[in-house]
Structure 1
């Protein structure tokens, strides 16, 4: 986390439009179905591992990841940075009222935090005119950080498509983080997070929506691990002695 926040501050100071990708297991699975996400990942200033399974899988790579960077923690630390440095944050997305509630909760925690604005556009497709009006409303507030909660992969694609037109130094798609802060969804207790079972807690609290997704994620992870292990074995240099 300290590295991500240090990079965020560097990016904001530079002033050029950049974005983080917060990648959980579901995002990796979606990347196989949406080839465009590969371009989005390559263009990002950083892809952060927002998931314990990703950290575990990285143990098979040349550079294992030390820890996860959960979006729900990242939003808090970015707000802390913004409050300390005088940066302005715009909250975009989630259900009506959720972005504002999340922002209010963060202001309670960090009274110096400057909220540039909060918007919850309607779900689904909007007209070109409404889209331009949305961009203009965000631009006029001149935020330093744009936090987006549009879901995957819509949020990542939206940030990528509008990056230069908005000109915001740092944008991040954060998934359910707004809901956790607003209290419309419950985050797992710290113990569940530490043992890598936050996904299980969420599945138990919202089984209808999340169990099918997590089953698909688990099958995807199994295929990936099998591929990693097979590749590693193929690369072994066996001795004949």
Structure 2
């Protein structure tokens, strides 16, 4: 499926959709019992996308590709694309809508990711807000090529979740989805990074207004400069040729 809202930005394709439209897409997947991959792009994923063939293969399989990046949206607007801040989709911004809908619709949500010692706190935080949510969890610390993976796939086949959230960090989570896609249940599948670490309170959560004004990256960097220096100050240089190509395409013929 290629949505009518699909755009080309920085050498990759993304969809100009709102968080509410993402919720509607998940609901469609659940009702139809259709396997659907809902991916996302930010500047870090674009770096990996242009450097790794396996990441490009993952995005080729995606039914929907959210824009999880205010700088990408601002770049799209500069190019005259029909995109706005309303199209930024990230777990921390839509999580309350997601869990409220999961509870009201009776969705069974299965999360793969997180450390064993943190997952009980994540689960407790979500169930405190939404006590009737059906939530299964599996740590992200396992051998993706061994018997642990086989047992996980068997558990997923047995439980048949409506939504599968995969939070093992990029690109590990995307490649796990890609490599196991044909064995995953017919459900909505979403890579969500460290989302449940925020739920557990073990990772700093920037104020949500910083994302709306395009400063969330700076706040994150100030809290974790050593880990994020390369991501925010070195990786974007890989995108320069794609910036030039976007500008060349925008020139009037």
Tell me the TM-score range normalised by the shorter chain.
0.7 to 0.9
Change (3 A) 1:15 1:62: farther
Q: What is the deviation of 1:222?
A: 4.5
Alignment partner for residue 152 of structure 2, among 134, 142, 152? 134
Q: What is the deviation of 1:156?
A: 1.2
Q: Larger radius of gyration, structure 1 or 2?
A: 1
State the alpha-carbon separation in 1 of the partners of residues 43 and 174 from structure 2: 15
The answer to whether 1:213 aligns with 2:227 is: no
Aligned to 2:170: 152
State the alpha-carbon separation in 1 of the partners of residues 69 and 96 from structure 2: 17
- After TM superposition, the structure 1 stretch with the greater mean CA deviation from structure 2, 205-214 or 95-104, is 95-104
Q: What is the deviation of 1:55?
A: 1.0
Contact 1:92 1:149 in 2 (8 A): yes
Change (3 A) 1:103 1:181: same
State the alpha-carbon separation in 1 of the partners of residues 63 and 170 from structure 2: 18
- After TM superposition, the structure 1 stretch with the greater mean CA deviation from structure 2, 205-214 or 137-146, is 137-146
TM-score normalised to structure 1 length: 0.88
Residues 32-63 of structure 1: per-residue CA shift (max 9 Å, x gap): 01123223223212000011111122225564
Aligned to 2:58: 40
Residues 144-191 of structure 1: per-residue CA shift (max 9 Å, x gap): 111111111111121122223121411111012111111111111123
Aligned to 2:219: 201
The answer to whether 1:16 aligns with 2:34 is: yes
Q: What is the deviation of 1:104?
A: 2.0
State the alpha-carbon separation in 2 of the partners of residues 92 and 177 from structure 1: 11
Q: What is the deviation of 1:211?
A: 1.5
The answer to whether 1:118 aligns with 2:111 is: no
Alignment partner for residue 70 of structure 2, among 27, 52, 59? 52
Contact 2:167 2:173 in 1 (8 A): yes
Q: What is the deviation of 1:83?
A: 0.5
Change (3 A) 1:28 1:12: same
- After TM superposition, the structure 1 stretch with the greater mean CA deviation from structure 2, 91-100 or 208-217, is 91-100
TM-score normalised to structure 2 length: 0.84
Alignment partner for residue 73 of structure 1, among 83, 88, 93? 93
Unaligned segments of structure 2, at least 5 residues:
1-18
State the alpha-carbon separation in 2 of the partners of residues 65 and 97 from structure 1: 40
The number of equivalent residue pairs is 233
State the alpha-carbon separation in 2 of the partners of residues 82 and 122 from structure 1: 26
State the alpha-carbon separation in 2 of the partners of residues 99 and 107 from structure 1: 12
